[in-house]
A and B are shown apart, each in its own frame.
Chain A
Amino acid sequence: AQSVSQHNHHVILSEAASLELGCNYSYGGTVNLFWYVQYPGQHLQLLLKYFSGDPLVKGIKGFEAEFIKSKFSFNLRKPSVQWSDTAEYFCAVTRTRNSGGYQKVTFGTGTKLQVIP
């Protein structure tokens, strides 16, 4: 079964600090990878996604993520965080089953980011 691990549960940074959130998945086949963000009181929304091609993916609000296949990782980065980045971040993976064509989405446990002004 596919699974996603996010090892940082709670991260506290000062504004302008650099951010890197770890994400590792366990599936040996072809995967599609996502980072979602949940701002306080809001619904989950997509930050960025990877399916093929350039392993460095750029998303909204200055976020980027790098897919490293050999490490089964898809870490999220931002060079300089802002107070408004305070949120919970979720990594997710999907794959396509050969028989059904439908896609189960598996999420990690999330990382709470707190940015101090």
Chain B
Amino acid sequence: DVKVTQSSRYLVKRTGEKVFLECVQDMDHENMFWYRQDPGLGLRLIYFSYDVKMKEKGDIPEGYSVSREKKERFSLILESASTNQTSMYLCASRKTGGVTEAFFGQGTRLTVV
């Protein structure tokens, strides 16, 4: 059974803290993605990575950075958390080539207070 695992289901952090969200996939997929999901706004792409150490900005990268040191792991970093980053964060992975779907993790609900 394919799996995308996000390290935390729920997180509460203080404004200004540095926050790490971790995601691991066991499918040897080249592509990995971080989205945030907000009511009425759907899924918005923050960053994606198509290979180890490679990354591209998505639609809303401001305030975020990412790291991909190993193929199976993709980390999202909030350098200085702010209240407007309170959201559900979804990690996904997808194989390159053909028509393959993205597989999603369970999500991390982050609250910044």
Residues of A participating in the B interface, judged by any CB pair closer than 8 Å: 6, 9, 32, 34, 36, 43-46, 49-51, 90, 92, 100-110
Cα A79 to Cα B24 in complex, Å, equals: 38
Cα A105 to Cα B101 in complex, Å, equals: 9
Question: A103-B96, A105-B94 are contacts. A46–B101 as well, Cβ < 8 Å?
Answer: yes
Q: Which residues of chain B have C-beta atoms less than 8 A from A43's C-beta? A: 90, 104-107
Residues of B participating in the A interface, judged by any CB pair closer than 8 Å: 30-31, 33, 35, 40-45, 48, 50-51, 56, 58, 90, 92, 94, 96-99, 101-102, 104-107
A to B contact number (C-beta, < 8 Å): 61
Output the nearest chain A residue to B105 by Cβ-Cβ distance.
Answer: A43
Q: Which residues of chain A have C-beta atoms less than 8 A from B58's C-beta? A: 104
Please state if A110 and B43 are interface contacts (CB–CB under 8 Å): yes
